Amino acid sequence: MNPPSKNAPDFERYSRQILFAGIGESGQHRLAAASAIVVGCGAIGASTAALLARSGVGRLRILDRDFVEPSNLQRQALFDDSDAADSLPKAVAAEQKLRAINSSISVEGIVADLTPGNAEKLLSGFDLILDGTDNFETRFLLNDFAVKNRLPWIYAAAVGSYGVTMTIRSCVTACLACLLESGEQLPAGVEETCDTIGVLAPVVQLISSLESAEALKLLAGKEEALHGRLVSSDVWTGRFQSIPIARNPDCRACSRREFSYLEGEAQPHITMCGRDSVQIHERSRSLDLAALGARLASSAEAVRHNEFLLRFRVAPYEMTVFADGRAILKGSQDPSVARSLYARFIGS
Ligand SMILES: [Zn+2]
């Protein structure tokens, strides 16, 4: 018997998936050679990343701008108490966990905020983009990038007990702009956020399962098995819906090919970031967090840092600064407060 080739998947590990007729040996080889980027590693992103790592997708990139907090642990299945106690960036914690789940694939965590300016650099080179984001600004940016570059991506969102997902293939299916910019009435719940009405862990798992199954079909080369519908469900009421979405012949993105989010003229420098928080990303630079911590020791309270971020309190606010110069201010949604605290403590 010939020894397995270097890139051949471990057939014992994936035996139950290979036995499944829809995947088979050839599908498993395709998965091993495939790559995907998970944008946003909150609840849906973490579960989707874990499912794809276990399934043997050969290369995964996890992109996230945030750090693990105790309020994440109820539903963000890759993280645990110690990640929250250490305030680890989610991308860093996810990379560690995914490598422990499957050491035979390549996993890379990147701590960054996706913007029009860095989208090309961060998203390029992957076969599939998976939505783990929590906002429509970023989803429209993903949609613009994917449609422009004719890459597939999978929209997924959950809030309360309700979730929705749709697989988008440029010029084959409707895109997110066909769905949301055409003036049709939106499915209930699409515009709520989990910071205002909460979210149940089971709906997160359901939606990430649906997203991951579609991802496996695409990456294993089984496009004919894609369901081609907007699927929504509510785990509290038990209501499930699956509806076909037509392309809009006058769609801004997939018909007129106007990529206004990717061009990003209107990208604000201070953006809402959850309830009672704002993110400041006016300019990117490299910060020496240890030196900044020493400098802040006399003027701020509870200053602490790890190799990825520094946090301090100036009552009633709490600021978290990342090594790339980005910061998240908790305790206010007022951009002028954020700007002035940033200038005073970090420097303008
Ligand atoms: Zn469209």
The reported pLDDT for the residue numbered 274 is 67
52 Ramachandran zone, left/alpha/beta (phi>0; psi -120 to 50) = alpha
How far is ligand 1, taken at its centre, from the CA of residue 59, in Å? 28
Residue 80 Cα, ligand 1 centroid: separation in angstroms? 39
Report the separation in Å between the CA atom of 27 and the middle of ligand 1, taken as the mean of its atom positions. Answer: 29
Determine the distance separating the centroid of ligand 1 and the alpha carbon of 243, expressed in angstroms: 16
The SS3 assignment for 141 reads helix
In angstroms, what is the span from residue 144 Cα to ligand 1's centroid? 9
Give the closest residue to 179 by CA, choosing from 189, 171, 187. 187
pLDDT at 270 over 90: no
Mean pLDDT computed over every residue of the chain: 89
Distance of alpha carbon 48 from alpha carbon 207, whole angstroms:
9
Distance 336 CA to ligand 1 centre (A): 36
Give 299's pLDDT tier (boundaries 50, 70, 90): confident
Ligand 1 centre distance from Cα of residue 173 (Å):
8
Q: What is residue 70's DSSP assignment?
A: G
Q: Which of 37-41, 122-126, 139-143, 266-270 has the lowest mean pLDDT?
A: 266-270
Q: What is the mean pLDDT of residues 126-147?
A: 94
- Examine the pLDDT at 48 and tell me if it is beyond 60: yes
Give 194's pLDDT tier (boundaries 50, 70, 90): low
The CA 120 to ligand 1 mean position distance, Å, reads: 20
Q: Are 168 and 176 in contact (CB under 8 A)?
A: yes
Quickly state the pLDDT bin for 195 (edges 50, 70, 90).
Answer: low
- Name the range with the highest mean pLDDT among 159-173, 254-268, 278-292: 159-173
Alpha-helix residue ranges (DSSP H) falling in the chain: 15-19, 24-32, 43-55, 81-85, 90-101, 119-123, 136-148, 176-180, 194-197, 201-219, 260-263, 289-296, 335-345
CA of 50 to the centre of ligand 1 (A): 30
Strands 59-64 and 106-111: parallel
The CA 182 to ligand 1 mean position distance, Å, reads 9
Please give the model's pTM, rounded to 2 decimal places: 0.85
pLDDT of residue 2: 47
Residue 135 near residue 157 (C-beta atoms within 8 A): no
Predicted local distance difference test score (pLDDT) of residue 163: 95
Q: Is the pLDDT of residue 168 over 60?
A: yes
CA of 154 to the centre of ligand 1 (A): 14
Residue 275: band (very low, low, confident or very high) from pLDDT cuts 50, 70, 90: low
Positive or negative torsion for Cα 311, 301, 84, 331: negative
Position 183 confidence tier, pLDDT thresholds 50, 70, 90 = low
Ligand 1: centre distance to CA 216 (Å): 23
pLDDT of residue 339: 81
- High-pLDDT (> 90) share of the chain, %: 63
Judge whether residue 191 has pLDDT over 60. Answer: no
Give the pLDDT mean for 35-40.
98
Cα-to-centroid distance, 238 and ligand 1 (Å): 30
**190 pLDDT band (50/70/90 cuts)?**
low
Spacing, Cα 167 to ligand 1 middle (Å): 12
Ligand 1 center from residue 261 Cα (angstroms): 13
Distance 145 CA to ligand 1 centre (A): 12
pLDDT 10s digits, 321-333: 888 888 888 988 8
| 118 contact partners, CB below 8 Å, separation of at least 6 | 112
For range 10-21, the mean pLDDT: 94
Ligand 1: distance of its center to the CA of 175 in Å? 4
Tokens matching residue 154 = 């999978």
- Measured in Å, residue 194 CA sits from the centre of ligand 1 at 26
pLDDT at 347 over 60: yes
- What pLDDT score does 135 carry? 84
Q: Which residues, in sequence order, are CB contacts of 183 under 8 Å at separation 6+?
A: none
Instruction: Write out pLDDT tens, residues 202-246.
Output: 999 999 999 999 999 999 999 999 999 999 999 999 999 999 999
Task: Report how far ligand 1's centroid is from the alpha carbon of 141 (Å).
Answer: 13
Q: How far is the CA of 181 from the centre of ligand 1 (A)?
A: 9
Residue 4 has pLDDT above 60, yes or no: no
> Confidence class of residue 193 from pLDDT cuts 50, 70 and 90?
low
Please enumerate in sequence order all residues whose Cβ is within 8 A of that of 35, keeping only pairs 6 or more positions apart, or say none: 57, 58, 59, 60, 61, 125, 126, 127, 128
Distance 41 CA to ligand 1 centre (A): 26
